[in-house]
Structure 1
Amino acid sequence: MRGVVFGFVAAVALASAASAACSNQGPAVQDVAVPGAPFASVPSADGCTIYVSLRTEDGRGAIAIVSRTGDKPVLTGTVSTPAPLWGLTLTRDGALLIAADGKGATFVDTRAATVQGAIADGGKDTIYTAVTPDETQLFVSDEHSRGIGVIDLAKARSGGFSRDAAASTIPVWLAPVGLAVSPDGKALFATVQIVTQPDLPRTCSDEQGRGGEHHEGALLVIDTQRAKSDPTHAVVAFAYAGCNPVRVALSPKADRAYVTARGSNALLIFDTAKLVTQSKTALIASVPVGKSPVGVAVTPDGKTVVVSNSDRFADDGAHKSVTFVDAAKAETGAAALLGSVDVGAFPRELSITADGGTLIVANARSASITLIDLKTVTLKPATQP
């Protein structure tokens, strides 16, 4: 079977001149070394700059800055931080980076390349961030505190990032990680790896082969307004989501939620309307992908979902891959795997530039990011399940 030349996007024709100038200039797949273990990346609106959150070798953290304005992407600078950085968000104006830092969030001014402050939310092992479209609320998932912190972002920005902007905590089940806010700002979707209900069957095996079984996880729906006034009751619905669900991404219309079930080696597709009204039938499809999928991203046209196959528990340092899934075919039960691209070791978070032209992969064990030109890349043939 021949490889597939992957070309999407009508949206590319609408890209600005600046965006076109900042597209990949060289090979379809390019690696850029960064000074630490990357967790996440976020591109600027024009795609000319990529910010990468890192854990550095000395146990601290940094934001790496990669420029795409020349013939090839290059590391142009770093901003050091006291703590390792994890999940990453960029405000609409491109002026403020918000990174999970294990205790809450660290705020970095992109224009001055300086740390503006940090706010602890009272949780432990904060790993992911999400912001409402109006940029008034910041959510941080506290993986080992069974909570999602709520920070008043407007108050934080106007008050010099003082601690009193940490507003409340939404109690959830074990190991919350992935977060995604709906475009209207009314709902926060969150993954929890294990639902701690005594009567639930233990159907998931330990991922590291240590023996024992545990409950499956869930995709939660959280009312963002209720999170302000009544956080204890802010979770309004949930659906079971396989073994160790760790990330969630929404379709452009937010009618679908895509979840990586790491322990199930699968991409799960949920109908977001049914999550609230008929949660037991909200799961539309389960698509087998690679080993221990983590990152998930959706192209701007909504046609393709990309998953990073981390194989994180192998701990062998070998290069892994990202898998491309046809969203429409996945829902019908047809062969949905379009193919894959080899990347670095332990690919974690994925992001896509606004013009839909470039996929960015953070390779945690390769100290690099991989840039994939979605207009020209040739995919390795997929082996359909």
Structure 2
Amino acid sequence: MYGYLYRANISWQNIHGRTTKFTRIAPLLISTAMVHSIASCIVAAFSIAVAAAATVADPECQTTAPQQHTINVHTAHMNMTDPPFGIVYARSDIAFVGAGFKVDMLNTTSFRPTLAREIMLPESLTQSAESETDGAASGLAVSRDKRYVYASIGLGAAIIDVEKAIAGDTNPVVGVLLGTTGVSAIEVTVSPDDDYVFVTQEYGTNTTRHRGTIEVFQIHRSSNGSVHGTNKGYAPLGYAVVGTELSHDGSRMYVTSEVTGQATSQNETQGTLSVLDVATLKTNPAKALLRTVDAGCSPVRLTLSPDGRHVWVTARLSNKLLAFDTAKLDSDHPEGALQASVQVGTSPVGVIFVNNGRHIITADSDRFDYPNATTGLTVVDVEAALGGAQVFPRIPTGLFPREFAMSPDGKTLLVSEYQSKAIQAVDLTRLS
């Protein structure tokens, strides 16, 4: 009995961008025994390849990312008076965005958002700021019950009552969270039960030896509508602590530090991904750190896959999107947790899952204005990326795309364009 063996046309692009082609050859008449022998060799070779693929090297630093081809989708822009940072939907028709010393409320009933009102933030949060950057609103998060928006700024975070803001209340800020370890609050995360809020202080203070921290606040709601938080302490991590993400069950927190805590200078670029135990974080923050792994050059933002199996991290100075296996991160031996290192655009910052988890989009900021670099949104096919694929397309944007918010129906993506002072709306229904 005989079979036929073909070699298909295959193109493979290596990390240097060079393309190697394997050309189809004429059919070979082979015996069944030969087929089994060849099949055994293929299985063995495949097993070796899988084992090799399981170990992905921590990416090196990279300035300008390779050029990408663009895809055209429907977009619209809304101009702003101040650079927008964090952005979040409170409900389908309302979004909030941090902008300067205030939070702007946006009407999102139309595809192109419009400004509904401006909400000034308390000076108590910014009075110790050392620069305008420290005093600006940055990350935003909405409580799980959709009642409050938390805006990190300066010493901690402001708490905005969503319904009061929508109703036009003159002061919808119903509370503040005052920290003790810095004036550069950058991200805010709310626990699944809304009882705790975690704020990253990017640069820390002399007390923390200028290492960044996670400050922990237990939330208390009063019958008169006010909200306050009890400061439970902080967890010191590496230098320039930025992004946080909770596991789906709320038991673990993943945190990025742009520079490892073992660095001798903050000018170093090797960063880390840390895993913290949330139960300990709530009661004894200083003891919450479980483990830390390398995460490329200047990792900044992260997001968890819908199935919880991977945490994806933007390594800004590597121009890479990194995927870590959460099961390995949660083990005593996290070696090999890095499962994929995906080339994206220059200086990626924001990252978000779209299309029911089929795609990840990164905000490629080019925030350092490298020569011959572009800004944009890289659209990564998740399955292909985990399989080792590279070279994904981008959607053009304005200057310094930074953070994302996706509409509750999953059809519209809002992008804060920091340097352009604009919000870009992207029609996700056009992405295949």
Smaller-chain TM-score bracket: 0.7 to 0.9
1:282 corresponds, among 325, 337, 340, to 337
1:360 corresponds, among 407, 414, 424, to 414
**Separation in structure 2 between the aligned mates of residue 283 and residue 85 of structure 1, nearest angstrom:** 32
1:35 corresponds, among 69, 81, 97, to 81
**Separation in structure 1 between the aligned mates of residue 254 and residue 322 of structure 2, nearest angstrom:** 14
Cross-structure match for 1:117: 175
**CA deviation string 1:117-158 (max 9, x = no partner):** 212111211110001111111100010112110010246899
1:126 aligns with 2:185: yes
1:301 Cα deviation after fit: 1.6
Contact 2:71 2:394 in 1 (8 A): no
1:305 aligns with 2:357: no
1:149 is matched by which residue type in structure 2?
E
**Separation in structure 2 between the aligned mates of residue 230 and residue 4 of structure 1, nearest angstrom:** 48
1:150 aligns with 2:219: no
**Separation in structure 1 between the aligned mates of residue 396 and residue 407 of structure 2, nearest angstrom:** 19
Contact 1:293 1:311 in 2 (8 A): yes
**Separation in structure 1 between the aligned mates of residue 228 and residue 191 of structure 2, nearest angstrom:** 20
1:106 corresponds, among 134, 153, 158, to 158
TM-score normalized by the length of structure 1: 0.81
1:271 Cα deviation after fit: 0.6
**Separation in structure 2 between the aligned mates of residue 315 and residue 94 of structure 1, nearest angstrom:** 40
1:2 Cα deviation after fit: 9.1
* Structure 1 range deviating more: 264-273 or 106-115: 106-115
1:336 Cα deviation after fit: 5.5
What secondary structure is seen at the aligned counterpart in 1 of 2:307? coil
Contact 2:143 2:194 in 1 (8 A): yes
Contact 1:137 1:154 in 2 (8 A): no
**CA deviation string 1:318-360 (max 9, x = no partner):** 97211110111111112361x2111121111112223221111
Alpha-carbon spacing, 1:151–1:71, altered in 2? closer, same or farther (3 Å): closer
2:430 corresponds, among 366, 376, 382, to 376
* Structure 1 range deviating more: 175-184 or 148-157: 148-157
1:222 is matched by which residue type in structure 2?
L
Contact 2:272 2:295 in 1 (8 A): yes
**Separation in structure 1 between the aligned mates of residue 323 and residue 69 of structure 2, nearest angstrom:** 28
What secondary structure is seen at the aligned counterpart in 1 of 2:328? helix
Mapping for residues 340-351 of structure 1, pairs under 5 Å: 340-351=394-405
Cross-structure match for 1:189: 254
**Separation in structure 2 between the aligned mates of residue 285 and residue 155 of structure 1, nearest angstrom:** 43
What secondary structure is seen at the aligned counterpart in 2 of 1:365? coil
Contact 2:106 2:117 in 1 (8 A): yes
Alpha-carbon spacing, 1:158–1:166, altered in 2? closer, same or farther (3 Å): farther
What secondary structure is seen at the aligned counterpart in 1 of 2:164? coil
Cross-structure match for 1:383: none
Mapping for residues 89-238 of structure 1, pairs under 5 Å: 89-113=141-165, 114-124=172-182, 125-145=184-204, 146-154=212-220, 160-162=226-228, 165-197=230-262, 214=268, 216-238=270-292
1:92 Cα deviation after fit: 2.6
Cross-structure match for 2:109: 69
Contact 1:173 1:192 in 2 (8 A): yes
Aligned length: 337
2:79 is matched by which residue type in structure 1?
A
**Separation in structure 2 between the aligned mates of residue 2 and residue 259 of structure 1, nearest angstrom:** 23
**CA deviation string 1:53-82 (max 9, x = no partner):** 111xxxxx1111221224742212111114
TM-score normalized by the length of structure 2: 0.73
What secondary structure is seen at the aligned counterpart in 2 of 1:264? coil
1:267 corresponds, among 318, 321, 324, to 321
What secondary structure is seen at the aligned counterpart in 2 of 1:290? coil
1:3 Cα deviation after fit: 6.6
1:159 Cα deviation after fit: 8.8
What percentage of aligned pairs have identical amino acids? 31
What secondary structure is seen at the aligned counterpart in 2 of 1:35? coil
Contact 1:85 1:101 in 2 (8 A): yes
Contact 1:119 1:161 in 2 (8 A): no
Mapping for residues 3-18 of structure 1, pairs under 5 Å: none
**Separation in structure 1 between the aligned mates of residue 355 and residue 195 of structure 2, nearest angstrom:** 24
1:257 aligns with 2:311: yes
Contact 2:346 2:375 in 1 (8 A): no
Contact 2:340 2:386 in 1 (8 A): yes
**Separation in structure 2 between the aligned mates of residue 268 and residue 376 of structure 1, nearest angstrom:** 26
Give me the CA root mean square deviation.
2.5
Cross-structure match for 1:291: 346
1:138 is matched by which residue type in structure 2?
V
**Separation in structure 2 between the aligned mates of residue 243 and residue 376 of structure 1, nearest angstrom:** 33
Contact 2:69 2:394 in 1 (8 A): no
Cross-structure match for 2:32: none
Q: Larger Rg: 1 or 2? A: 2
1:5 Cα deviation after fit: 7.1
Alpha-carbon spacing, 1:159–1:108, altered in 2? closer, same or farther (3 Å): closer
What secondary structure is seen at the aligned counterpart in 2 of 1:232? helix
**CA deviation string 1:4-62 (max 9, x = no partner):** 577xxxxxxxxxxxxxxxxxxxxx201111221110110133x221211111xxxxx11
Cross-structure match for 2:96: 51
Cross-structure match for 2:139: 87
